[in-house]
Structure 1
Amino acid sequence: MDPRSEVLLRQPDYFQGEVLLVGLPPDDVLGRLPNAHGWCWHAGDQAALEARFAGRVHFGVDVPARAFDTAVVYLPKSKELSDYVLKAVAARLPNADVFLVGEKKGGIEGASKQLIPFGKPRKLDSARHCQLWQVTVVNAPQAPVLADLAQHYELALEEGPLNVVSLPGVFSHGRLDRGSALLLEHLDKLPSGHVLDFGCGAGVLGAAVKRRYPHNSVTLLDVDAFATASSRLTLAANGLDAEVICADGIDAAPMELNTILSNPPFHVGVHTDYHATENLLQKSVKHLKKGGELRIVANSFLRYQPLIEEQFGACTVKAEGQGFRIYSAKRR
């Protein structure tokens, strides 16, 4: 059981009615709260929860339409995302209670201040290195419009400016990160055909490839529904057409690819997690055609080259700078 859920379950009297659990982990909290429903935007968590609690978890970027008596928000990593989801549920719960739960090392103490506009928050419990906060919504906000919270920025590319649309919670929200910037400088000589942007975020790499190589088929894949929603907005803002998939890991990607591009993630929440990237490096060769290329950018301190060489036999450093390296490997 996730320690945040353990803290909730120490206070069962507050959660007897129709409860919405926002950003919940894939544990047994729904099993312990039979009247609760979830709202999730992580495709892997959604799949695990749906397998056990079919029909009880809403997936996507919008607050579910169903009625609920109270809501518990599991503190997201992003302040912008927590602000959005807190306002979204508080707008639906005038004069009712909203709860915020999170780990101390995840910043729950400071994040509790985001409850102040709704009423007077109070710390309800502190245990398992977590805190549970409660606020009665005296001042219900207007329901936020997610598109209005998007940040827009423009990249100057050889083919012309690329407009990027970034939603709250998306990696490198509102700006181009250094790793992707380096990879954008080295998109030359890609194999023609079907290109996958793995861990697409706001869709920068996939959109740039489609702009430069318009005859290529491009698929963008990310585990996060806010990321894939951002990618769709970025593609639309530039008049580009590509497939967008929200799913957990390379297993959901098409086969017979010509290129896999990625600035792969290695952080999840406050914990370091290399699983998604290691899975990518181990299985990407199976998704590539013969002669197809894996091209990724990663922090220089991450020892990805030996993992790639285990699968591909050879891996070259195509470029490096500002603490990042671009690795390239081809299926033989």
Structure 2
Amino acid sequence: MTDASLELLYRALESKPARGLLLADEQCIAEPGIQIPVITNRVDVAQRFQAAGFNAALSDFDLSVIDVDSIYYRVSKEKALVHHLINQALLRLPIGGELVLTGEKGDGLKTYADKARTLVGSDKDLNKGRGGALLARIRKQREPETSLDDSNYRQLCDIAPQGHVALYSKPGVYGWQKIDRGSRLLIGALGDVLDKDGAQAPRDVLDLGCGYGYLTVMAHQRLPDARFVATDNNVTALVACTKNIETHAISAQVVPADCADGIGQQFDLVLCNPPFHKGFDIHGDLTLAFLKAAAARLAPAGMALFVVNQFIALEQKAEPLFASCERAGEGEGFKVYLLKR
């Protein structure tokens, strides 16, 4: 196991708590021999834990119905999400219950633990693990009278600038407070492709890794008669995407799936701004996984538009999968590619 903080968390779980719960973010793996209920917002994480025999529930980290004595959590990258889960855990745990947090100093673990202790009157209990990993135990001595600032985690809000079409997003979605520059560049390139003489308007469109649905909403402005499928591995993102689809009355299906796994339909157009971060790490192989997913789901005359950071060598990864790969746009540190079967 490469994540020392996760290793430390699982070592704490070896005591096999009878009424424990694991909050599993995207970096979590299923550790054989540790059987504990799991809640996650990631499709692939839920599938991995379920395959290993865990009782794993998929939701936007809904802790409203839990009844446990201890909660275990390797802190996430996003501060608002960490604050939200600490708030919910300390609210749901009984007096005497325990929240166990792990992470590194650079992840903010000490600060998170100090804030949590203050909320419920817990004594300091901090232990070190391998490679700078830290584990904090927060024992609930009283009910919290306040909560940590979670940026109104449950609230969907319109993040679009004045004069722009409405775009709803929320904490827990990557880049949730902004319009991604790469995605904006991709939509501009889509307009150029559709304006070419003889170009046939796509009827079936796949938004692969849709996030809060920006590409679907903006492509719908150009393709009002198209049918869309928006899919993402993060069900938190799909909450926001569903709101945007409903707001703009788009003919679309929202599908929770890991890199379009299980979607058998073929599409005239695939739109994708693939992630290259997974938790705290950068994963270059994610681009290849999304390219393979797009190639497998393109109709024979279909096309895909991908936008990536300029340092990602998409051409090399796409060459074995597509008949053609041409630069369709560039700017602000991003490149857009038009791919055809």
When normalised by structure 1's length, the TM-score is 0.88
Secondary structure of 1:176's counterpart equals: coil
Match of 2:58 in 1: 59
1:181 aligns with 2:187: no
* Match of residue 310 from structure 1: 320
Counting only pairs closer than 5 Å after superposition, residues 36-55 of structure 1 correspond to structure 2 as 36-54=36-54
User: What are the Cα deviations for residues 120-161 of structure 1, in whole angstroms up to 9, with x where unaligned?
Assistant: 4634321023211122232336899977433421257xxx73
Unaligned runs of 5+ in 2: 195-200
Q: Sequence identity of aligned pairs in percent?
A: 25
Distance 1:13 1:222, change over 3 A: closer
Partner of 1:168: 171
1:209 deviates by 1.6
Greater alpha carbon shift after TM alignment, 118-127 vs 289-298: 118-127
Residue in structure 2 matched with residue 212 of structure 1 by the alignment: 222
Tell me which residue corresponds to 1:296. Answer: 306
Query: Aligned partners of 1:67, 1:139: CA distance in 2, in Å?
Result: 16
Distance (whole Å) between structure 1 residues aligned to residue 120 and residue 246 of structure 2: 35
Q: Which residue of 1 aligns with 2:207?
A: 197
**Would the aligned equivalents of 1:73 and 1:101 in 2 still touch at CA under 8 Å?**
yes
The separation in 1 between residues aligned to 2:327 and 2:86, in whole angstroms, is: 44
| Deviation for aligned residue 1:222 | 0.7
Decide whether the 8 Å contact of 1:91 with 1:141 is kept in 2.
no
| AA of the residue aligned to 1:179 | G
Please identify which structure carries the higher strand content: 1
Q: CA RMSD in A?
A: 2.6
SS of the residue aligned with 2:240? Answer: helix
Contact 2:9/2:101 (<8 A) preserved: no
> Which of 228, 231, 236 is the matching residue for 2:241?
231
Alpha-carbon distance, 1:243 to partner? 0.7
Q: How many residues align?
A: 324
Task: Encode CA deviations 1:150-184: one digit per residue, 9 max, x unaligned.
Answer: 3421257xxx7322221212110211121112123
Residues 45-194 of structure 1: pairs in structure 2 closer than 5 A = 45-54=45-54, 56-61=55-60, 62-63=62-63, 65-95=65-95, 96-115=97-116, 116-120=118-122, 122-129=124-131, 130-137=133-140, 138-140=142-144, 148-154=154-160, 161-188=164-191, 189-190=193-194, 191-194=201-204
Stretches of structure 1 lacking an aligned partner (at least 5 in a row) = none
Moved over 4 A (4+): 12-15, 141-148
1:234-273 counterparts in 2 under 5 A? 234-273=244-283
Distance 1:172 1:228, change over 3 A: same
- Listed one character per residue, the Cα deviations across residues 172-231 of structure 1 (whole Å, up to 9, x for unaligned) are 021112111212322224441111111111111112222331210101111111111111
The amino acid of 2:22's aligned partner reads: L
Q: TM-score, normalization: structure 2?
A: 0.86
State whether residues 80 and 153 of structure 2, in contact with CA within 8 Å, keep that contact through their aligned partners in structure 1: no
Residues 1:236 and 1:146: Cα distance change in structure 2 (over 3 Å): farther
1:85 is paired with a residue of what secondary structure? helix
**Could you tell me whether the CA contact under 8 Å between 2:9 and 2:135 is conserved in 1?**
yes
Q: What secondary structure is seen at the aligned counterpart in 1 of 2:328?
A: strand
1:303 CA drift (Å): 0.4
User: Does structure 1 retain, via aligned residues, the 8 Å contact 2:229–2:253?
Assistant: yes
Determine the structure 2 residue equivalent to 1:16.
17
2:66 & 2:184 partners in 1: Cα distance? 42
